[in-house]
A and B are shown apart, each in its own frame.
Chain A
Amino acid sequence: MAARRLLVNSGHDVNGVLAGLVAELAAQGGLAAPQAYRLRLAADEITTNIACHGYRGAPGVIDLGGYAAHGRVWLSIEDDAPPFDPRGHHPDPRLSAEPPLRAAGGLGLHLALTVVDEFGYEHVRGRNRNTLVLHRERGGHRGATNDGGNDERYDRATRR
């Protein structure tokens, strides 16, 4: 099991450490580049949320632990901030409103909850534990490709 301790709001390169751990887990689990990207994005958003809102910008600890097995990669993110279940703060209805976005808040949690295959939360021994899971094979997931881009993708993505 790979593990790292992040000291957030302390001037440390949290993003760099996180990216390194995700790259390590993605390699162990055989994740394709788009899946590794999603795992990093989700982990980035969750840890950023913990640092900004859980610890309210004050120094704090976030413990990362991950492993790969049976075609899946797990990453747990634990912190000592007040209990917070991201699943209860999914802004889907607001994001589906007509653009421009009324507010940019909630984008990070929305992304984190959306890009992973499984998302778990529990409060154990006084800590928040978020668990992110990516499956190795996810053909056709959400339309992303790893072919360097094509016009079809932009047809989907371009303003309608």
Chain B
Amino acid sequence: MSVPPDFQAKLDVDDGTATVWLSGELDSRSAAVLDELVTRAVEQRVRRIVLLAGELTYLSSAGLRCLVFAHQKLGRTGDIVLVGARPEVAETIRLTGFDRAIVMQSRAEP
């Protein structure tokens, strides 16, 4: 299974916060890429994962499982913050109830 041609993910870790910039389609083809980044971030003992999702154009349940995976990896004391998700992506998350487990913001906050 090949990663969608337009999917990109970049990780930056600083002062206990992992920032992941996402672009393109997060589905069964690309989920493993994000899982790998989350694993790398958790290995650096981050307390917070910020996902910059403004350029994420598609999210399927396979991609959503990445967020669940990240949530489980961080544990109850960690935070997942999703920033700038497009309406359809936000709706997908909300329909599964996972919006109650993460923080969703329209724009990045300090």
Shortest CB-to-CB span from B97 to chain A, Å, is 5
A153 to B18 alpha-carbon distance, docked (Å): 25
Q: Do A108 and B101 have beta carbons less than 8 Å apart?
A: no
Give chain A nearest CB distance to B93 CB in angstroms: 7
- B99 contacts A159, CB within 8 Å? yes
A contact patch SS: helix
| Closest-CB distance, B12 to chain A (whole angstroms) | 24
B contact residues, total (Cβ < 8 Å): 39
B39 within 8 A of A: no
Say how far A129's CB is from chain B's closest CB, in angstroms: 22
Interchain CB contact under 8 A, B105 and A115: no
> Does B108 lie at the interface of the complex (its beta carbon under 8 Å from any beta carbon of A)?
no
* Contact flag A144-B99 (CB < 8 Å), given A100-B68, A154-B106: no
The listed residue (B4, B27, B71, B93) touching A100 by CB distance below 8 A is B71
Interface size class on chain A is 35 or more
Docked CA distance A26–B110 (Å): 40
Contact across chains for B4 and A41 when beta carbons are under 8 A apart: no
| A34 and B87 contact, CB distance less than 8 A | yes
B28 lies within 8 A of chain A by Cβ: yes
**27 A–B contacts, CB within 8 A, in A order:** A15-B28, A33-B88, A45-B60, A48-B28, A48-B60, A98-B100, A99-B98, A100-B101, A101-B96, A108-B60, A111-B60, A115-B95, A142-B91, A143-B91, A143-B94, A144-B88, A146-B87, A148-B86, A149-B90, A150-B106, A153-B87, A153-B90, A153-B106, A154-B106, A156-B94, A158-B99, A159-B104
Could you tell me which B residues sit within 8 Å of A by CB distance? 1-2, 4, 25, 27-29, 58, 60-62, 64-65, 68-69, 71-72, 84-88, 90-106
